[in-house]
Amino acid sequence: MTPDAPATPTGRHVIVTGASRGIGAAVAAHFVALGDRVVAWSRGGSAPEGCARTLSVDVADADQVNEAVRTATAELGPVDVLVANAGITRDGLAMRMSDEQWRDVLATDLDGAFYCARAALASMVRARRGSLIFIGSVSPFMGVPGQANYAAAKAGLVGLARSLAKEVASRSITVNVVAPGLIDTDMTAALGQAGADLSALIPLGRAGSPADVAGAVGFLASNQARYITGAVLSVDGGLAMGL
Ligand code: NDP
């Protein structure tokens, strides 16, 4: 018999990147409601009410990321939870995709997630605890025309997460990926008819809400998920089921 998981502590130091709107804002609000101390990052620097700190950080800039983690840990102590959520799209068919479109997406969605994880892990390893959650996507599992850059970056997150999971498991740190499907945010508002077409393929019959994703992130960061690491949790209404 293993003992039940101890209650998840409150007052944790939680960093959420891309917290100014959409999924990141819902994730930040979720942890604020649990009583955690949330540091909200975005380039614009806005955040949901109740966050302990709001920082303007471009995750594609490693120096800014390192400085922001230094600031946050000096004020709030070791990072307990990092949610690497910041992401962009620059869609276009691969044959016509510019170098800039490719690099911008890789720089934010993959390099940025790595910089954040590297900086936060230094603090977690010293504390011998922590939870790292990457916001991936169903895109690499389904393949999406026009999103070669985005799908490649999000696929990279899976390899990154699983390698890190093995590197830090001995320190009781878990590393997981949440893979949303079609979620109603600014990112998907521009999809128009393509979004409606995709929606029609979702077994649960609707696009998800940012709160649907926040619930899954909250679970992976909780003590109930302490034995889950290296996992990819789809939050997609069944869209990519089995892939
Ligand atoms: P939004 O466009 O609504 O929000 C993106 C957030 O990321 C904003 O807070 C933005 O703030 C921030 N951001 C963007 N670039 C940077 C950067 N370089 N540095 C710091 N912050 C940045 O997107 P969603 O909420 O829809 O998406 C959030 C995550 O979920 C992304 O990783 C996305 O790929 C993923 N996802 C979304 C899906 C969906 O259907 N919506 C589906 C699957 C995955 P600011 O502009 O102020 O910097």
Interval 193-238: pLDDT, tens: 888 888 999 999 999 999 999 999 999 999 999 999 999 999 999 9
- Average pLDDT in the 69-76 region? 96
Q: Which two tokens stand for residue 157?
A: 């997150």
What order of strands is seen across the sheet that includes strand 81-84?
53-56, 37-42, 13-17, 81-84, 130-135, 173-180, 232-235
Residue 140 confidence (pLDDT) above 70 = yes
C-alpha 91 chain-centroid distance: 20
- Average pLDDT in the 165-179 region? 98
Indicate the pLDDT class of residue 191, thresholds 50, 70 and 90. Answer: confident
Indicate the pLDDT class of residue 2, thresholds 50, 70 and 90. Answer: low
108 lines ligand 1 (CB under 6 A): yes
| Alpha carbon of 134 to ligand 1 centroid (Å) | 12
| Alpha carbon of 6 to ligand 1 centroid (Å) | 33
What is the predicted pLDDT for the residue at 3? 65
Pocket residue to mutate for ligand 1, from 15, 55, 88, 144, most atoms within 8 A of Cβ: 88
Residue 127 confidence (pLDDT) above 70 = yes
- Average pLDDT in the 179-191 region? 94
- Domains plus CATH for the chain? 13-235 (3.40.50.720)
137 lines ligand 1 (CB under 6 A): yes
- Average pLDDT in the 45-63 region? 96
Please name the residue whose Cα sits nearest to atom 6 of ligand 1. 18
Indicate the pLDDT class of residue 12, thresholds 50, 70 and 90. Answer: very high
- Average pLDDT in the 143-153 region? 96
Average pLDDT, the chain: 96
213 lines ligand 1 (CB under 6 A): no
Pocket residue to mutate for ligand 1, from 56, 85, 115, 209, most atoms within 8 A of Cβ: 85
Closest ligand 1 atom, residue 86 Cα: 7
Please name the residue whose Cα sits nearest to atom 48 of ligand 1. 43
Question: pTM for this one?
Answer: 0.98
Return the residue matching tokens 């003590």. Answer: 223
Q: What is the maximum span of the chain, computed from C-alpha positions, in angstroms? A: 58
**Quick one: which of 117, 160, 154 has its CA closest to 137?**
154
Which residues are within 8 A (CB) of 159 and not within 5 positions of it... i.e. 6 or more apart?
none
What is the predicted pLDDT for the residue at 113? 99
Positions annotated as catalytic residues are: 150
What is the predicted pLDDT for the residue at 87? 98
